[in-house]
Amino acid sequence: MLFVADIGNTNIVLGIFQQEKLVKKWRLSTHRNNTRDEYSIFLNSLLRENDITADDITAASLCSVVPMITPRFEEIIQKDFGVEPVVVRPGIKTGLQILYEPPHEVGADRVVNSVAGFRKYGGPLIIVDFGTATTFDVITAGGEYIGGVITPGPRISAEALSVKAAQLPRVDMLKPREVIGKNTTDAMRSGLYYAHPGACDRIIEKISESFDDRPTVIATGGLADSVKEESIYIEKIEHDLTLIGLKMIYEINTND
């Protein structure tokens, strides 16, 4: 079995592949202060609950945008599973030409998503990932990662409103009953729900001007479904894109 881990600022997503199939997936909150032992206990309890032993894990791949947590997971994989993980970092084989300046500044999760997206859809391609930040990654038909766009995600926007404006409550991104809110909560929900897809579509329009052929647009991340309902350009949702990309990168770096 292949163990994969996507360590993000808000959530850590874990998965188990058995051959080509993603057979298990878990999502847990990211806690930067958790020790290696705390993560180890939690992870091993998840495996036991699903009748998976440490000996069943024969390979591992991980990416992280939280540097302080990365070595803790590396150590867990090395000591608990007895395998050396493939870690997505500068110099790893991806099959893409990274044209970011400098290349090491592009987030590991963005590289992983781009590998999976390009291998499945080809290019030109725009991948929109709705996480803590909303990121747009752009890959050419020739497999060049040429950069992208980073904007605040819906949750950051919602938190900023409630923190900076004393009389505004904290709300989730839920579809309002109608566009014109009749109370503060519905007005805020309307702003979050409709503004984010509108901004996304405008960014996609501007990126697409760089290509002769309109790029394929796919989305991933926790709020992808909500945004796609109102988006003109998002064509497909790939919920497990990062986990699939981690599997692909493992194979690229271990198969001769």
**What tens digit of pLDDT does each residue of 219-245 get?**
998 888 888 888 999 999 999 999 999
pTM: 0.90
Strand stretches in the chain, DSSP E? 2-7, 11-18, 21-29, 59-64, 86-87, 97-98, 125-130, 133-139, 144-152, 216-221, 236-237
For residue 170, pLDDT beyond 70: yes
Answer yes or no: is pLDDT of 15 > 90: yes
**Which residue, chain included where needed, has tokens 């036991």?**
48
Active site residue 109: yes
Beta-bridge partner residues of 87: 62
Give the containing element (helix H, strand E) for 244: helix 241-254
- Catalytically annotated residue among 109, 129, 137, 186: 109
Classify 109 as helix, strand or coil.
helix
The pLDDT tens digits for 88-136 are 998 899 999 999 988 888 999 999 999 999 999 999 999 999 888 899 9
Instruction: Write down the pLDDT at residue 138.
Output: 98
Measured CA to CA, the distance from residue 100 to residue 90 in angstroms comes to 12
Q: Where are the domains of the chain?
A: 2-87, 97-239
Tell me the one-letter amino acid at 110.
R
Homologous superfamily of 2-87 = ATPase, nucleotide binding domain (3.30.420.40)
| Class of 97-239 in CATH | alpha beta
